Structure 1
Amino acid sequence: MSLLDVRVPAVLLRIDRNPFHHGTLGAVRSLGRAGVEVHVVADSAASPVRSSRFVCRMHPPPPVGASAAEITGTLRRVAAGIARPAVLIPMDDASAVAVGRLRDELTPSYLLPHQPGALPERVADKAELAAVCADADIPHPETLIPDSPAQAAAAAWQLGLPVVAKWSRPWLVPAGTGLRSTVVVHSAQEARELFLRAEEAGSRLLLQAFLPAGHDRDWFFHGYADRSGAVRGGGTGRKQRAWPRTAGLTAVGRWTPNPQVRALAERLTASLGYRGILDLDFRRCGTTGRYHLLDFNPRPGAQFRLFADTAGLDVVRALHLDLTHRPPPDGSPRPGRTFVVENYAPFSALRPTLGGSELAWHAPDDPAPGRAMWGLWALHVLRKMRGRLGGTAPAARPAAARVVRQAGGPHADRAAEPAELTPVTKVTESSDDEKASSC
């Protein structure tokens, strides 16, 4: 008998137009290898995913900036063609938020975890996450949300430059604007200028205290919280290489047991009553040794296949098993295993590891996506190089800034000045497609 119920197909939804999302390919392969019929609703024009032998059919995604009605219409058309209930798996934050909002409209065509529809949106919102961590007593960077350009500049000084700047809802940042979901800000003037682009970004700007990167500091946790609340199919991993360096996606990751990180993840999941797949990012503070939650992604992380155990269980398979009422298999963890994204870490992909490794793109039983990736990636890099020839110089640091210090914050020992800054959200250190370098 197959591990999964092959009578129940799966639909992967990705609204983000990133053609090089290797996590989508990982989900296609994980389910397809188990005999599940896999449909992908995503932009496939320049994606290696479309060439996988495990894709049953590619479907056009909703348009950029689609309304709830348009997303519902797209998914209903796919469901009508499949003609039986399917497991629906959002593969990016925009999809997870939309599916959470539309859960009532999408059932019974789709099988989904039972949880409050607003919860994925709440944890994915970087500003809301600060309050979530405070409620659950999870360490998180001190976070300020300015209401004006002057407050943005003041907040940068208050937190202590450099600081991390994030858009609270990064899935709303439009492509082609030069805006990034997360950047490190080195001057109050940079913070002021970013605030002026909030309308263009589509969400609020928030500033967080910065924690430098370092050896053994970046960690992640992947898991699936089933109907009983038990977390399965994942584990804790250490980010060995990132792209961009120190503040980007995991280019090389290693399955490394970390009881502290696991305990934080399970405590947060239980506190929220969260059900479904989750991908958490942590950074360890070099001074205190505490792990701070930086991001909560309510969907599979791109490197989720790192955590396939000896029975082949990963978070995507755990979801399918749970929603089809099948018990998970008895498997053992495989610590030491590595995951490598070849286009970001090509030399690491050539080095064998003691615990075994999995490549993001190449697979012996599905070689076409790996071959397609290199040709498409070469064109992508060429376009990027051409686009950067006309770059602009960074903004200069202002001569001075005067703010009121926030009592109890990590920089509260600095001299206070009589300027006014009203933090909308604050979480102190006593309470964690781009990841922040913050504390």
Structure 2
Amino acid sequence: MSHETLRRLVIRSSAQWWVASAAVVSLATGVALLLAQVLLHPPAGDLIELGVYLALAGVLAVAGCWAAARWMERRSVLGLRGQAILVALLGSATSIATILILAELMFISGDHDLQVLLAVSTFSAVMSVFLTSWVTSRTLARLFVVTRSIRDLAEGNLEGVTSMRGSDEVAALAEDVNTLARRLAEARAERVALDAERRELTAAISHDLRTPLSTIRAVVDALDDGVVSDAVGMKRYFVTIRRDVDRLNRMIDDLFELAQIDAGALRLQRDRVALREIVGDVVSAMRPRAERAGLTLDLDVTGETRPALLDGDRLERAVSNLLRNALEHTPPGGRVSVSVAESEDHVSLEVADTGEGIEPAVLPHVWTRFYRAERSRMRGDTGSDGAGLGLAITKGIVEAHGGTVGVTSQPDVGTTFTVRIPISE
């Protein structure tokens, strides 16, 4: 909250307080005059004079209370208990002054009655101060609990405030502190998880980048030492270098794409295109790879899918990641089935395989970057970069389109990934 906004709130609160004070003084004076008229039937002149004195006493009491409060705020000489007692004393003084005014106006007959009223008023003043102090002490004790909890929060103790009885403002404040403690605890847990993920990311990047670089270095050293000199051998070495360079390039592209997704800077270049066309192109490009691996790759399009505003390049990458993942985890002789369908408001894609499946304990983590189950760490010669970023990028791209991703799996039976994207007009 800015200083100017706070200043405006203070001014508005002060104005409201003065309006309320004027209303209370007017109401109290009117009620007192009404009772005096009903009970005593004084002359009109006395009634008017009584009203003037009562209104003046009320104004002086309010002004004195305001001046005392301002003085205490600036000097900080009294705490809340002292301020409450001072207000009680001012109220009692106002009551006694009113009695003296009534005696002066001859509304109280005799010194005896005046002395009795003064004694009763003094008793009421003492009781008022005591009860005000008692209530204020109880409130301050509860506020102390909240204050101590806030200090604990500042020191890192996120246990919050114990359950506080009541439904007043202090109880509401305690509940707000509890809510703050819970949110801070959640933020701390997220930060710890993020730090752990960052460490894992650094280790994973180091490992996954070191592997192709080591291969390239070994092949270059072999060529430099003249290990091979025939054209066939050199071509085989150059193919290895090109494959690992492409692998590094894919990994760097994945890291850059993921950084954009995390930063919320992924900008979609939407165009009117049908998802079946994107999926058809990916399947056609992947079919030779599936045949080399001894797999059957099918594509099924249900009905005519309408063109929608999609980023074709991004979605092609997402579909490629899903299909590449299915091919990598399906043994020879297996089947990978891709299906595209459309409903009234969305288009869906399913990539199902008859591969190794995913353990139930692993399934919630498949969208986590750099996460690979132990069975998945054993990569074959399928050209996989093994970085573990593909599914995380797929999820980010689909969600950037306003869609959702899902996965179901049964170990040793197969896995099905599902993508649903709304049709944007």
| TM-score (norm: length of structure 2) | 0.22
Say which structure is richer in helix. Answer: 2
| TM-score (norm: length of structure 1) | 0.22
Say which structure is richer in strand. Answer: 1
Which structure has the larger Rg over C-alpha atoms? 2
Higher relative contact order (CA 8 A, sep 6+): 1
